[in-house]
Amino acid sequence: MDKFVFLTAVAALVWGAVPANGIELSFYGVAHLSVDNVNDGDDASVHTASNSSRLGFVGQHVISPSLTLLFQFETGMDPTAQGENDGNGGADSSGQIFTKGRPSYVGLLGVYGKILLGHMPALDQWANDYNLFADQVGDLGNLWEGSGVPGRLDNVIYYLSPKYGGFDVAVSYVAEEGVDDEDHFIVKSSYEDQGLKLGLALASIGQGLESSKEHNVVAVTVGYNFGSYSVGGGFQRETNIRGESGNDRSSFTLGGSRRVGKAGVVKLQVGTSEGEKDSSDAVQFAVGYDYNLDASTRLYVAYSSMNNDSNVDFSANGKGHGDKIVPALGDDPSALSLGVVYTFNSKFLK
C-alpha cells in the first residue's frame, strides 16, 4: 500500500504541477488472472495465477519541433498477492501486490531515431513477434527462454532507427560494469508491409566470470495476417548455452489462428526444441480460444502440453504465465487454463 500511495502522489503532483502544454501522459495497465489445472507429469493441482499483470505511466515532453523526451515507468502487479511466481520475472515479493520492474526508461526521440536508457526487452524483442499464447499456458517462451536467454535486461542502452520503407533496426547494449565478459549485445531488425511482418535478431549474452564464451542467439520470425486468418512462426538457434562449449539448441515454432464470428479467435501453436546433448529434445503443443467481450476485456480457454526427453524439464505453463511448474527431468507436464484479461489506457495529460 505504501508504494501505491507513493505512485498516486507522484501522479497527482505531475498532473497538478506540470503545465499540459507540450506534455502527454497516460496511465495504463493489464490485469490478467486465470484458474489453471496443472499436471507436472506426476500429479495434478489447481492454481489461481496472475500472469504478467502490470501498471505503468508512459509519456512524452516536446522539447522542440525536432526533439522529444520519452519516459515510461512500469511495474509488475499480482492481484493475488502471492508474488514471486507471477510471470513478471520473479522477485522477492511474497505477500505484495507490486512485484518486479518491467520495461522502464527515459530517452530522446529525434529525426535520427530514438535512444532509451533503462530496463528493456531482450528475448521479448523477438519472441512475441508471433506468439499466439503470450502470457498464457503454451507461451512459446517455455522453449525459447528455457535455456537461459533473458526476457528483459537491466541497465540497457537502446537505439531504434526510424522506419525506412517498413524496415527498422534496434540495437541494445549492456555494459560490463566492472565484471569482465558480462556485457550483452543485441541487434533486432524488423520489416512490416500490410499484413506481413518479418524479424531477425542476433544476440550475444556475456557470462561474466562463469565462462569466457558467450551465449549466442540467432532468431528469425515471420507472421502474416490475411482476412480472418493468421499464420506464422519462428526459428531460434542458440550456441554455447550459459557459456558451455558445445551446448547448442535449435527451436522452431509454427502456429495459426482464425477469427470466429465478430469476437472469437481459435488458435493452434506447435513448437519443437532439439539439443545437441543426448535425450534433450522437447515438443510443445497448445490450442486455445479467445473471446473478446469488448475492446478491453477478453476471456479465454487454453490447453498446453510438453513432451520432454529424459534430460530436459521444460514447462508447459511458464514464461509470461504465473505459477510456473517445473517438472522432473523427463516428465511431461500439461495445463488447462481459464483466464480473463482486462486492459486500460487512460490519457490524462495532453
- What domains are there in the chain, each with its CATH number? 2-349 (2.40.160.10)
82-120 pLDDT, tens digit per residue, is: 878 999 987 777 888 999 999 999 999 999 999 999 999
How far is the C-alpha of 199 from the C-alpha of 176, rounded, in Å?
27
Least-confidence region, from 6-10, 308-312, 345-349: 6-10
Q: Whole-angstrom Cα distance, residue 308 to residue 273? A: 10
Query: Which triple of cell numbers denotes residue 243?
Result: 557459456
State what percent of residues in the chain have pLDDT above 90: 84
> CA 100, CA 77: separation in Å to the nearest integer?
8
Closest CA to 319 of 184, 133, 44: 133
How far from chain centre, in Å, is Cα 116?
A: 18
> What is the helix (H) or strand (E) element at residue 78, kind and residue range?
none
Q: Which pLDDT value is given to residue 350?
A: 72
Instruction: Write the burial class of residue 277 (CB in 10 Å: 0-12 exposed, 13-18 middle, 19+ buried).
Output: middle
Name the burial class of residue 14, with classes exposed (0-12), middle (13-18) and buried (19+) by CB atoms within 10 angstroms of its CB: middle
Report the amino acid identity of residue 151: G
Q: CA–CA separation, 85 vs 325, rounded Å?
A: 10
d(C-alpha 81, C-alpha 96), whole Å: 5
Q: Which residues pair with 174 in a beta bridge?
A: 156, 184
222-280 pLDDT tens trace: 999 999 999 999 999 999 999 999 999 999 999 999 999 999 999 999 999 999 999 99
